Every structure is written in structure tokens, then in C-alpha cells.
A and B are shown apart, each in its own frame.
Chain A
Amino acid sequence: MDFPILSSLILLPTIGAFFIFFVKSSNKTYQASKYIALFIAIANFIISLYLWYEFDNSTSEFQFTENRVWIKNFINYKVGVDGISILFILLTTFVSTICIITVNYTVSTRLKDFLIAILLMESLMIGVFCSLDLVIFYLFFEGGLIPMFLIIGIWGGKRRVYSAFKFFLYTLLGSVLMLIAIISIYWFSGTTDIEKLYSIGIEAKYQNLLWLAFFSSFAVKTPMWPVHTWLPDAHVEAPTAGSVLLAAILLKMAGYGFIRFSLGLFPLASDYFVPLIYFLSLVAIIYTSLVALMQEDIKKLIAYSSVAHMGFVTLGIFTMTQQGLEGSIFQMISHGLISAALFLCVGIIYERTHTRLINQYGGLVSIMPKYAVLFMIFTLGALGLPGTTGFIGEFLILLGIFKKNIIVATIASIGVVLGAAYMLWMYKRIIFGKIVNENLKELMDVKKVELFLLCCLAFPVIFFGFYPEPLINTIEVSIQNLLDIYNFNLASYQAKTLYD
């Protein structure tokens, strides 16, 4: 047992939050809090990079595992990472750092509390991605709701309370069912340790019900159609950093959950429910793309596009093919970066003009040329242009799904055309054309810190678009192993029913 690197990743932000809590609040500018938060976030990001560096991608075993007894014979605090989860941890620490910088220079009311919320959130998110015990997972998973609820509720826009409650109501409803499922798994199997559960498996007759219970929680968080309506509202009301966290990390917990639990624990049920997932994903892709086309609010448009992109992710996961699954994880990472950047972009102009309505803009390119370039990069990423990460994800997913079902692949590909339509149309209306709105003439181009943040996000989007090897290598073996187990389970069950 070496140095508990995962626990320190989880704990460090919490400790930071604790410190900030006790820093003297008489200081109006919150200098100390800002520096502590920034330092902690960067330190955590560096640790997670080190984790990635040390990570052995030739094995599918869980690595850096820690196992401590929490409640004897009941719950163990068990954490570890494999190829599936490590990239999400990196994404979390990276995006959290970005968020903290954003908050530092934009938020002025109750900044201290905001920083605490983000740091706590970071702890919980990392916890979600490395917990190897169902109960621990549930605690982290649901815990993440609370800081987000507060961020929307306190620093949000006019309808913040409505949005916060809608967000809470939706996500809680799903979670309750998941909790019941976890309890019943404990009664059936006598353990909530994920590794053990993988090896003993879950009896076939319970799988469908349990799968549905988990599904109800993940579907809300993804979000899948028709439980997606909380997302546009939450995004619209959330402050910029809140939107970034929500889009970049919170949504990814569900995709991760689908891979880790739905596929891992309930292979038979996953197989059984494939048509349902395909149907809902396709609706999400086509339906929300069309809805996005007609949006007048930039944030809502991007929120709807998130639903469409996550539709690709769920589609890819349930192809149960190497390309589909790798594509899904890639797409989640890519969407994490791109949507984070897009929300930052919206935040930048919102802060200057205090409007998010598309028709209030136009002609920004002549006033904010640098902004126009950066915004273009992320627009192109979002519409899946080759050379950006968005393309690799979508391409692999569609490649995977084509193997399984040609019709589904064809319909999903229409979404790619629509994606280009709504993104470019939005871009055109905001950036190009003549300046109609006189107020815009005074706008200044991106500040240095904004430029820095957007470049930080643009770099991986382009780099991994041209050279995705480092990411794909990391996940390759774990995905292969997951698929082997999945196929083995399916085959042995079929053999057993034949024998019976």
C-alpha cells in the first residue's frame, strides 16, 4: 500500500474548502480565499496528471486501490481507478481549476461561499469516479447535487429558485429508486463491493428491475429524453461557472454510471433494454437538435445541444462494441471540454451586455476578433469537424452503432447534419453581419485571463482531435475487458437457459 493518492485527490479540495471557511471574511476582496482555492485546484490537477502518468494502461485491473473498513461487515471505503474512470478524474480536476479562475474574476457576491461550493463539488465528483463500493458511490453521487443546487439557487438568475427546485426534484426522484436498488443488491448478494459483485454477478431474474432503478437515476442525469427539461432551465439560470461544472462534469457521471454499473453489473438487462436506449437516444438526438435550432437564448441552445450530444454517448455505450464505448468516453471528455468552453464564451459576452438573447447580438467579429476566433473553434468542435475531439467521438460512436444497427446509425447521422445547422446559424447571428445593437460598439475584446482560459480549453480540443492516441490508449484495455466480461456473461446465461 503506497501513498493514498486517490484519497488525497478526494480530500484535498475539502481541506481547501475548510481553510477558506475559516479565513477572515472582513477582507472585502477575498484575496486569501482566491489564492487558496486556486492553489488547491492546481495542486489537485497536477496530482491527477501524476496519477495518469503512473497509470498502467496495459492492465484492466483497478489501480491505486485503497480499502478501509467504514462500517464493519457492511460498508468499506474502497476506491480505485481503471482506464474507464481515470480520464474523468482528469477532466474534473481540469475543469474545476478553470471554474475557480472564472469565479475569481467574475463573481463578487459571496465569493467565499462560491469557492467552497466548487471545491466541495470537486471532491464529490472525484469520489464518484473512483469509488468501488455502491454505497460510497451513492453518497458521492447524491452529494454532488447539493453544491450544484446551492450554486444555482444562490448565484443564479431571475428564475433561479424555480430552476434549482426543478433540478433537485428531477434528480432526486431518480436517485431514490437507485438507493432502493442498492439496498436490495446488498440483501441479495451480501456485499456492495463492486469488484466482488462483478465476479459473483447478479441473478438473472432481478436484473431487469434493478437495471431500471439505476436507469431512472442515470437517465435524469444524462439527461435523456423525456426527462431532459430540467437541463435548459438549470443552465439558463446558473452562473457561468455553474453551467460549466454542470455540463462538463455533472452530466458525465451518468454516462460513467451506465458503463460501470448498467453494463458491468446487469449485462443481461442491458442487452434486453437496448431497443429502449436506442429509441430514447435517437429521439434525444433528432428532437433536441430541432428544438435547439429554434432557440432564442444562447445558453438554452447550448443546453439542448448537450442533450443531443449525450444522446450520442448513450447510443455509443449500448452498442457494446469497442469503437462505440471508446467513442462514448471520448465524446464525454470532448463534450466536457467543448461545452465548458462554449458556456465560458457565453459568459464572457453576457457579462458585458447582460443579455443572452441571440437577436441582441450580431457583428461581434469586428469588435471582438479574438473572441470570434476562439468561439469559432469551439463551435466547430461542437459540430464535430474532423481535427477536433468532437469528430473522433461522434465518428467512433457511429462506427460502433453501424455494426449493430444500420437504421439507427443512419438516423443518428442526420443529427450530425442538424448539429452543424444550429451551431453555425447561432454563430452567424451572434458574430457575423452588421452591428445592429448600438450598445455592442463599446465592447472590449477578451481579457488576458479569458484568453488564457479559452486557450487552455482549445488546446486539448485540437490536440486530441489530431492525436487521440494518449486518451484512447488509456481506455483501450479496460474497455476490452469490460466487453469480454459482458459477452461471457451473456453467453453463459444463454448456455444455461439452453441447458435448463
Chain B
Amino acid sequence: MEYAILFLPLLASIISGFFGKIIGDRFSELITSLLVSISAILSIIIFYQVLANGYENNLIVTTWLNSGSLNVNWSIKIDTLSSVMLLVVTFISALVHIYSIGYMSNDPHKPRFMAYLSLFTFSMLTLVTSDNFLQLFFGWEGVGLCSYFLIGFWYKKDSANSAAIKAFLVNRVGDFGFALGIFLIFYLFGNINYTEVFNQIPIIKEQEISILGIKFNAINLICTLLFIGAMGKSAQILLHTWLPDAMEGPTPVSALIHAATMVTAGVFLVVRCSPIFEYSEFALSLVTVVGMITAIFAASVALVQNDIKKIIAYSTCSQLGYMFFAAGVGAYNVAMFHLFTHAFFKALLFLGSGSVIHAFKDEQDITKMGGVWKKLPYTYAFMVIGTLALTGFPFLSGYYSKDAIIEFAYLRGNAAGYWAATIGVFTALLTSIYSWRLIFKTFHGNYNNKNLEITNIHESSPVILIPLFILSIGAISSGFIFKDLFIGYEKTYIFWRDSILFLEPLSKDHPPNWFIFLTPALVLLSIPLSYYLFLKNIKITEELVNMNKPIYNFLKNKWYFDELYEFTLINPAKKIGLFFWKKIDLAFIDRFGPDGISNLIKNFSFKAVKFQSGFIYQYAFVMLIGFSLFLTLLIIN
């Protein structure tokens, strides 16, 4: 069964990718959707077995790499953590496959698109079912590659290609840290399999590594390096710049890769490595701080964006920040819970926005929409459900997971925890405001699109709406149903078993009542507030923007990160490359090296030619000088 879960998507990808032309568009759409759906059903069965019978397994497919003490297998490891991920990945993937049949119906390259989606699913599955760091890395780069393909899917758009390369390269920077982390693990343990490494971690707790005379604690260093990898993949601040640009890809891709699955791989990595991170107070604080800053940074940027997908992308960035600071305060299970619920409502929001974009004939600017909620009743309903779930409206999925994160941060009881909780509450408010802004601007108010008559706006077809419907059920109920299992006080340890290590048991206290009610209260309050700001009285918002132009521009330009990188990294790299090539290679090495030598020989032989002048008196003169020099030497000796 495990084999089927993993290899059916690969099979789907091969069939659709290589034989797409032969079997036709429709058939390749159906076969990929079908195979991935089977994989999803099997994942549900596995999840149930893990849940009910405590099923665990570690299948070895074959050896991969054997060199000296390095010993790595291709493996399928099933435990609670990976079964949760299997469920999320295959389930969302299957829905996105089906949705794509409708969404991509006018695209000439359907088989290729489906092949990439299935290949992505396969890579993501190898990532989550790995039992060692190398296969994890394989899946890690594999999903990055598929993301590269899919962002650049519309290859004629230059912006899409640039965004694709940007995504790959920024991820490579993260992977650079990740790879060094793996090297360090091998250096310390002579092995990179989870079980062996995790067992030895307590032994080397105190070990230090000296780099350039500075001593670092080994575990801190490992965690920091691995976390750099996680930051790249999960678009945390500094390495986040690729995610908004990645929205150049087709919308189903954004839903699957850049919301529900791939970007959460970083969170998965930290949770998977909880046996290492638990021993590093420093790394956990780092994770908390980075998560915290990303959460608020991305939310602040999302407030002023006008591209519907970019708003949701920044929102994803921000929610990933939440997951990280949950992990950072030691509540790995809560991080996973938020990952789980987030997958549903964020995929719902993206696919819903896809439906909107579809209706508006590829328009993504929310200032060119508005007033269409009656025209798109289902899409509207689903988007509102997604927004309610995201903002943490009471009793929807986000309410359980996000509030739990904020509470656990509060209960951590240290400075980082209180800070995280405060920022968490504030970010929740921002989240709510920008989400409602999106809804009001898109669906309410006046119709603002000049290129398209409102009568031409139509609701999407059932093949698009059915996945939305299923996801909205998940967005409403996944929090309520799985709350006890994932983060309940007793069941947590039984459910997660050994897949997560908690060095300190989770706190059983409750935060004070006012704190528990604070977030939902703010969330509820923000709805009328946004209504007032973005619909009822737009003038106030405009005045606010005009009064604070510098801040507005700062947010609008995403804190100028892209410009900063362009200025400090990309341009200098190009200039240095040009300098090395033109000045050193050509003007120095070649000039004084091979060309210099050949010129020297040429000049020398020209000179030598002159010696043979043919005049006897010259020869005699030279001989005389030579002879006298010779004599002088003899006399001196």
C-alpha cells in the first residue's frame, strides 16, 4: 500500500508526461486525477491505521548511496508525522488535479501540466516519507524543481520565467544552509539516518566546534543550518522574496505548492527534527523570532497589495510564520495542527481566487473587480468560508489552530513567548483586516472593470466548484474534529508517539480568560471595521494613505527587499563576473601568459635575426668582447 501511495503519482506523471500526445488531453487529465485520487484514498486508510492501531513501518525500497561509513537507503517511513503529511499532500493534490481539469481547459499544454503536478506530488511524498536526511534533501530539491517548472509553466511570459528562476535560486540559498547542516551531521555522527542521529544527539549535547577560532555549540549550529533550509522553502523573512513572485504560475499551482504543501516542508523539517531542536535553546529562540517577524511583516505587506493572489501569498507567508513560532516555543504538535488546517482553508482561498480570476478573464487586480457577489454566489460563499477560517472566526478550523499557537506562546512563560503572543494577537488582527479587504473589494461595492461587461461574468463550472466545496467542508470542520487528537492534552502523546520529541511536557495550564477571548474578539471586531474602511467610507482610507505616504510606499514595495538584493547581491555578482572575465582572464592571464610568451619568443627571434648581419667586423667585435670576458673570468678565479 505504501508503495502504491508513493508510486502511483510517479506513474501518473510518466504516463501523462511521455505519452500525453498519444493518449490525448482528456485521458491524461483523467488518468493523473484518478491515480492521485487512489493515492489519496490509500493515504486516508494509512492515516486511519496509524490513528487506530498505532501502525508504524519503515520500508526499505533499495540502497541508494554507500560510501565508507555513509549508508543511505531509499525508504518509506510511516509514522504519525508522515501519515499526517501524506494525508494533507495527497488529499489536496487530488482536489487540485480535478480542479485543474476545469481551470486549465483552454491551455494547449494540459498533459505537461498534469505531469508536473503529479511529479510534484511524488517528490513531496518522498520528502515526507524519508528516513534519512539525504532522501529528504532529494524530495526537497525535487519539489523545488517542480515548483520551478510550474511557476514558469507559461514560458512565453518573461516575468514567469524570471520568477521561476528566482524561486529556484532563493531556495538554493536555503539549501546551501541545509546541505551544510547535513554535512555537519555526517561529520559528527558518521551517519545521516534519522534514528541513528536522533539517538546520539543527547550524547553530543556539550560538544563544540571551532570555526576560525570561534567555538560554536554543535547542536546549535546544526539546527541553525537546517533552519536556513527551512526558511528558504517556507519563505521566511530574508528568503521570502520568491513566494509572491511565484504567483506568476497558474492558480492551481499556487494552491497546491505555494500554500498547502511545499512551503510547509520547512515546518515539517523543524518538527521532524524536534529531537535535535529540543536540545538547542538558541535555535528554538531563533525559530520563534524569525517566525514572529515573518508573520507580522507579511501581514503588513498584505494590507496594501492589490493583486488578489499576492495578498493570499503574503498571507501564506504570514501563516507559515505562525507555524514556525509555534514550533519555536516547543509546541510542534500545534504547528502541525495549523499546517493541517491551513492546508484546507488556504487551498480553498487560492482555488476560490482562481475561480474569480477565471470569471474576470485573467484579471488579478482587486481594484478592477467589485460588486459581483450575486454573479458568483458559490465562489463568494466559499471565499467567505475560507476567509472566516483563516481569520480564526470562532469554531472554524483556523480558530482552533491559530488561537492555540498564541496560547502556547503565552504559556511558554519566557520573554520570547510573551513577545510572540503579543505579535501573534496583533498579526491576527491584521490578518483579519487584509482578508476582509480582499473580500469587500472583490465582491462588494461598485463594479470597476472597464474591459469586461458585468453581464459577461459567469460562475465557474462544477468541476471547479466541487473541489472548492470539499475544501470548504475541511476548512469548517477540520479544526473541530481533529483538535483533541492533534493538540488535546491527553491524546497528543498517544497520537504523535515517537514522531515528535517533547523534552519538557506541554503546559497543562490555561492562559487567563481575558487572553483567550482577546483574539476572537478582535477578529469579530475587524469585520465591521474593514467594512467601514474599505467599503462604506473609502475616503478615510485614502486620507490615511495620503497622510502616511512613506509608510504606505514602504509597505507597497514590500519593505524594499527585492531592491536591496538587486543592489547588494545580483548586480555585484554580475560586475565581478565581468571583471574576472575581461580584466583577469583576458587582460592579465592571457596577455602575460600564452600570448605573452609567444610574443616574447617572436620578439626574441627577431632580435636574434639581427645578430646575423653578415659583416665580418661585427662578428669579430663580438668575439673580441667574448674572449676578453672569458679571460677576465679566468684571471679572477
Establish whether residues A291 and B580, one from each chain, have CB atoms under 8 Å apart when the complex forms: yes
**CB within 8 Å of A: which of B561-620?**
573-574, 576-578, 580-581, 584-586, 589-590, 593-594, 597-598
* Contact partner, B165, options A169, A428, A466, A467, Cβ 8 Å: A428
A52 within 8 A of B: no
Establish whether residues A386 and B597, one from each chain, have CB atoms under 8 Å apart when the complex forms: no
**CB within 8 Å of B: which of A358-409?**
363, 365-366, 380, 385-387, 391-392, 395-396, 398-399, 402-403, 406-407, 409
Establish whether residues A432 and B155, one from each chain, have CB atoms under 8 Å apart when the complex forms: yes
Chain B residue numbers with a CB within 8 Å of A166 are 594
Contact A417-B594, Cβ < 8 Å, known A398-B183, A399-B70, A407-B211? no
User: What are the interface flags for A142-174 relative to B under an 8 Å C-beta threshold, 1 for contact and 0 otherwise?
Assistant: 000000000000000000000001100110000
CB distance from B146 to the nearest CB of A (A): 11
Cα distance, A395 to B173, chains bound together (Å): 16
Establish whether residues A466 and B64, one from each chain, have CB atoms under 8 Å apart when the complex forms: yes
CB distance from A313 to the nearest CB of B (A): 16
Contact A229-B593, Cβ < 8 Å, known A293-B577, A468-B65? yes
CB distance from B384 to the nearest CB of A (A): 38
**CB within 8 Å of A: which of B20-75?**
62-70, 74
Chain A residue numbers with a CB within 8 Å of B574 are 293-294
Establish whether residues B589 and A409, one from each chain, have CB atoms under 8 Å apart when the complex forms: no
Chain B residue numbers with a CB within 8 Å of A294 are 574, 577-578, 581
Establish whether residues A323 and B70, one from each chain, have CB atoms under 8 Å apart when the complex forms: yes
Contact A406-B209, Cβ < 8 Å, known A291-B580, A365-B155, A386-B137? yes
A488 within 8 A of B: no
B187 within 8 A of A: yes
Establish whether residues A424 and B168, one from each chain, have CB atoms under 8 Å apart when the complex forms: yes
Establish whether residues A433 and B158, one from each chain, have CB atoms under 8 Å apart when the complex forms: yes
The interface residues of chain A, by DSSP majority, are classed as helix
CB distance from B151 to the nearest CB of A (A): 12
Establish whether residues B179 and A416, one from each chain, have CB atoms under 8 Å apart when the complex forms: yes
Chain A residue numbers with a CB within 8 Å of B179 are 395, 398, 413, 416
* Contact partner, B187, options A365, A392, A403, Cβ 8 Å: A403
Contact A291-B65, Cβ < 8 Å, known A407-B212, A413-B180, A424-B165? no
Establish whether residues B173 and A386, one from each chain, have CB atoms under 8 Å apart when the complex forms: no
* Contact partner, A226, options B155, B162, B589, Cβ 8 Å: B589
The interface residues of chain B, by DSSP majority, are classed as helix
Establish whether residues B66 and A472, one from each chain, have CB atoms under 8 Å apart when the complex forms: yes
CB distance from A201 to the nearest CB of B (A): 25
A326 within 8 A of B: yes
Chain B residue numbers with a CB within 8 Å of A431 are 155
CB distance from A200 to the nearest CB of B (A): 29
CB distance from A304 to the nearest CB of B (A): 8
Cα distance, A494 to B162, chains bound together (Å): 56
Cα distance, A323 to B190, chains bound together (Å): 11
CB distance from A315 to the nearest CB of B (A): 13
B524 within 8 A of A: no
Contact A417-B156, Cβ < 8 Å, known A398-B183, A403-B187? no
* Contact partner, A326, options B67, B138, B152, B580, Cβ 8 Å: B67
Tally B residues with Cβ within 8 Å of A.
55
Establish whether residues A433 and B155, one from each chain, have CB atoms under 8 Å apart when the complex forms: yes
User: What are the interface flags for A312-326 relative to B under an 8 Å C-beta threshold, 1 for contact and 0 otherwise?
Assistant: 000000000111001
CB distance from A430 to the nearest CB of B (A): 11
A107 within 8 A of B: no
**CB within 8 Å of B: which of A269-306?**
287, 290-295
Establish whether residues B186 and A399, one from each chain, have CB atoms under 8 Å apart when the complex forms: yes
Establish whether residues A414 and B176, one from each chain, have CB atoms under 8 Å apart when the complex forms: yes
CB distance from A367 to the nearest CB of B (A): 12
Cα distance, A170 to B595, chains bound together (Å): 11
Cα distance, A433 to B180, chains bound together (Å): 35
Establish whether residues B68 and A322, one from each chain, have CB atoms under 8 Å apart when the complex forms: yes
A227 within 8 A of B: yes
* Contact partner, A323, options B67, B209, B584, Cβ 8 Å: B67
Contact A410-B145, Cβ < 8 Å, known A229-B594, A293-B574? no
Cα distance, A476 to B184, chains bound together (Å): 23
Chain A residue numbers with a CB within 8 Å of B184 are 402, 406
B14 within 8 A of A: no
User: What are the interface flags for B150-186 relative to A under an 8 Å C-beta threshold, 1 for contact and 0 otherwise?
Assistant: 0010011010011011001100110010011001101
Establish whether residues A417 and B68, one from each chain, have CB atoms under 8 Å apart when the complex forms: no
A420 within 8 A of B: yes
User: What are the interface flags for A421-434 relative to B under an 8 Å C-beta threshold, 1 for contact and 0 otherwise?
Assistant: 10011001001111
| B interface residues with partner A (beta carbon < 8 Å) | 62-70, 74, 134, 137-138, 141-142, 145, 148, 152, 155-156, 158, 161-162, 164-165, 168-169, 172-173, 176, 179-180, 183-184, 186-187, 209, 211-212, 573-574, 576-578, 580-581, 584-586, 589-590, 593-594, 597-598
| A-B pairs with lowest CB-CB distance, top 5 | A322-B68, A290-B577, A402-B183, A386-B138, A294-B577
